[in-house]
Chains A and B, each alone.
Chain A
């Protein structure tokens, strides 16, 4: 938190801690008087699995410098399988952050058990210092970064990415409906390319929300070949999420449809 007296920038770090392990570990850390920097502000949730990518990306949008997710060690989740999903979702969040251009290491996932009080203080200290080195998040100052983070957030809310990250754990452990277990690396590839596509589409929607834009213009801003932009636009039009304006002009432009449409 910006210290008014000194005027120096201080990293704003938000922690989401699961009630049963990492929050309890933070409690033990206090009981044992291990000290750590004052920057972190913890929010208690029942399980780390509660943290959807939207919660994290929205907080980055609001200007957080760092987000720490704390859960139980794999296999110890109070809700049995909760943190397996957390792990998968964090991977997705990081991929989306990479797409957006905001440093993915502003987000960290750590497993802290109820008995690891000292570990909690070390993690918080280390992470706070890491965020301090990264410097203040530029999201609030850099409009184009803001648009990209917003697009990452929107992408995380699409049916495709939510369904994929929800089913991912089941697909590699139990197999699909045909009982074929998927190779995790193969699935990662599928998710990565879906992430890229959904991010690009969300960014097109984000950019065309306030102002109609041409394919060329979008390609320029997004640093994407125009044929790729055009392909996205075709899909978005099919889904009734974007509309073409001034078709009589030489260069058609596209504008995001605000309400309705299938996500």
Chain B
């Protein structure tokens, strides 16, 4: 499984170092005495060749390096120029081209770290450049050639979670020709969307909208569907995972997979103890409300209040759940438009349904106030009827909000539409949270009118609480099993918010959908497809190559205490059959944490050994000779 690239230099050869000092035009040459630095380099131990170039990274500079390697039989190369962060790959490739292992190359930064930051002190800058090269030489003398491990990648994907994001990921990977195991803990595909009534922007039925995706996944020849199943164990590393998948109560079956996509979704926050939830029967959450609408089991209502940001944005959860404003607007419009179609006889099963009262007559007071607000007298003259009324004449909908986050083009239009339909948006602040209570057998909501600076009370028949999406309670188990991190709020944490939004820092594992934070369906589908294409890269390539930066365990010193395994952020260490720590080269990123931690000092770092670092650092303390 592991192939090694050819070893190019013998580690026992006496170092023969070549130093190439770059002027970088005047970028270095203007502020550092390059000729004297190059002369000085010649005097350092094991340096057999030193020269200066105008531009070392230009073709003649590079061919100068290649020639010198051959002519002077160099087995170490030092370039003193700009920064390794941009130019190391170029010079390393040049060395390799001339038959020198790239790990025998040393970079010394005399531009960003010297000439450009000491522009008015040529003597001191030149002295520093000499010191830096002396440090580089000290390091170069201790370098040893390294081999890079090539690891084959199993062209099979695993997707955990069969919601819209997981299904999108599985379908994309399968379409690319890879076999995919899709593991869903429920008995059905579809995830949270299955519970929903209609979907915003499309206003189409939720089930109807995702039916084609479910059909595609079910019928795909490359997808192995594991319903009612969970992942019980994960072992291995990118390209070579062995995962145990078990059906509920059944036996675990092992499969080999190369990459993994996590798409386990989120749950709705239960507002226990907030706004009379679980205290008064007709206080429900958004999801419960959608279920009522979907089943056409709404009780008769005259007035509905939505309360936004329940438990979010600094109350229980710190974040904004992003979707709930739009979901509340969707439901507000829906109830105004389709209220009559959603009324129904109460179902006797579900506990939720039981607690919704059969019928609530809106009191005259509401009707009265509603008329007043529309500019009509309570006596209602005939001409008042000419005022064109939206459907909300039948039902009054109020959305109590802190701010309405109807971002983007579509959502703002939907928000405007809701206003046209006379959905009222009333702002509240955290200093004056609305209060829900029951009085004379009537549910009421008290709020502080921010413009009038007055407390108002209004009777309502139903209160809908918009609560945030929250992380799955068992996300921690999966996080431990896969050794990928969770953020503060319990959602999975991507490698980089901006640049690697669907990758985990651990190679070979990707993330999509609401398990990494609130998102709507389109976003979840985008993320699912993105994660699939990221996961496909190593599978299409067929192998991954690991930079030789890994840690190395000395089994003669290791006691098997496991401390290193605990601190490694990538799960790149495990215990071998002998009970000693073992590095999984393909998974190790070379951070060095285990090396600095191992209580026995049994771990050293390839290419960054203590000896190399100390030699380099201490060389700076020597006096220039």
Contacts and interface: CB of A to CB of B under 8 A. Distances in A.
B511 to A, nearest CB: 14
Contact of A82 (B561, B569, B599): B569
A157 B601 CA distance: 8
Interface in A61-88: 62-64, 78-82, 85
B614 A159 contact: no
A46 B598 contact: no
A33 B600 contact: no
A98 interface: no
A26 B113 contact: yes
A54 B610 CA distance: 9
B563 interface: yes
B599 A166 contact: yes
A159 B120 CA distance: 48
B116 A33 contact: yes
Contacts of B85: 19, 23-24, 27
A29 B117 contact: yes
B621 A52 contact: no
Residue of A12, A42, A58 most packed against chain B (CB within 10 A): A42
A89 interface: yes
Nearest to B610: A55
A211 interface: no
Given A38-B124, A41-B128, A31 B593 contact: no
Contacts of B113: 26-27, 30, 42
A159 B118 CA distance: 43
Interface string A150-184: 00000001011011011101100000000000000
Contacts of B624: 1, 4
Nearest to A36: B117
A194 interface: no
Contacts of B567: 81, 85, 166, 169-170
Given A26-B112, A30-B117, A85-B567, A12 B593 contact: no
B588 to A, nearest CB: 10
Contact of A27 (B83, B135, B620): B83
Nearest to B595: A50
A23 B112 CA distance: 10
B617 A82 contact: no
A81 to B, nearest CB: 5
B618 A59 contact: yes
B132 interface: yes
A27 B549 CA distance: 22
Nearest to A26: B113
B596 A51 contact: yes
Interface residues of A, number: 57
Residue of A24, A36, A44, A78 most packed against chain B (CB within 10 A): A44
B591 A62 contact: no
Given A19-B85, A33-B116, A46 B597 contact: no
B112 A62 contact: no
A14 B591 contact: no
Contacts of B485: 80-81
Contact of B569 (A35, A79, A89, A162): A79
A163 B590 CA distance: 20
A214 B81 CA distance: 56
Interface in B577-625: 589-593, 595-601, 605, 608, 610, 613-614, 616-618, 620-621, 623-624
B188 interface: no
B563 A163 contact: yes
A2 interface: yes
A253 interface: no
A34 interface: yes
Contacts of B141: none
B135 A41 contact: yes
A169 B114 CA distance: 36
B119 A33 contact: yes
A47 interface: yes
A234 interface: no
Contacts of B590: 46
A41 B121 CA distance: 16
Interface string B120-153: 1101110110011001000000000000000000
Given A12-B620, A50-B592, A30 B131 contact: no
A121 B113 CA distance: 11
A45 interface: yes
A19 B547 CA distance: 15
Nearest to A159: B599
Contact of B597 (A27, A35, A43, A85): A85
A23 B596 CA distance: 20
A162 B599 contact: yes
A195 interface: no
Contact of A79 (B131, B589, B595, B601): B589
Contacts of A14: 617, 620-621
Contact of B592 (A30, A44, A49, A80): A49
A36 B590 CA distance: 31
Nearest to B484: A80
A170 B569 CA distance: 12
A41 B620 contact: yes
Nearest to B124: A38
A263 to B, nearest CB: 8
B566 A167 contact: yes
B342 interface: no
B544 interface: no
A259 to B, nearest CB: 15
A41 B119 contact: no
A208 B43 CA distance: 41
Given A27-B83, A46-B592, A163 B119 contact: no
Contacts of B505: 79-80
A5 B624 CA distance: 12
Interface of B: 83-85, 109, 111-114, 116-121, 123-125, 127-128, 131-132, 135, 485, 505, 549, 561, 563-564, 566-567, 569-570, 589-593, 595-601, 605, 608, 610, 613-614, 616-618, 620-621, 623-624
22 contacts: A27-B113, A30-B83, A35-B119, A36-B118, A38-B114, A46-B590, A46-B591, A47-B592, A50-B608, A52-B595, A59-B621, A62-B618, A64-B621, A79-B569, A79-B593, A85-B597, A121-B117, A159-B599, A159-B600, A162-B598, A162-B601, A170-B567
Given A23-B85, A31-B116, A55-B617, 19 more contacts: A27-B83, A33-B117, A33-B119, A38-B114, A38-B125, A41-B135, A43-B617, A46-B589, A47-B592, A62-B618, A80-B485, A82-B569, A85-B597, A157-B601, A159-B600, A162-B597, A162-B598, A165-B597, A166-B563
Interface of A: 1-5, 12, 14, 16, 19, 23-24, 26-27, 29-31, 33-36, 38, 41-47, 49-52, 54-55, 58-59, 62-64, 78-82, 85, 89, 121, 157, 159-160, 162-163, 165-167, 169-170
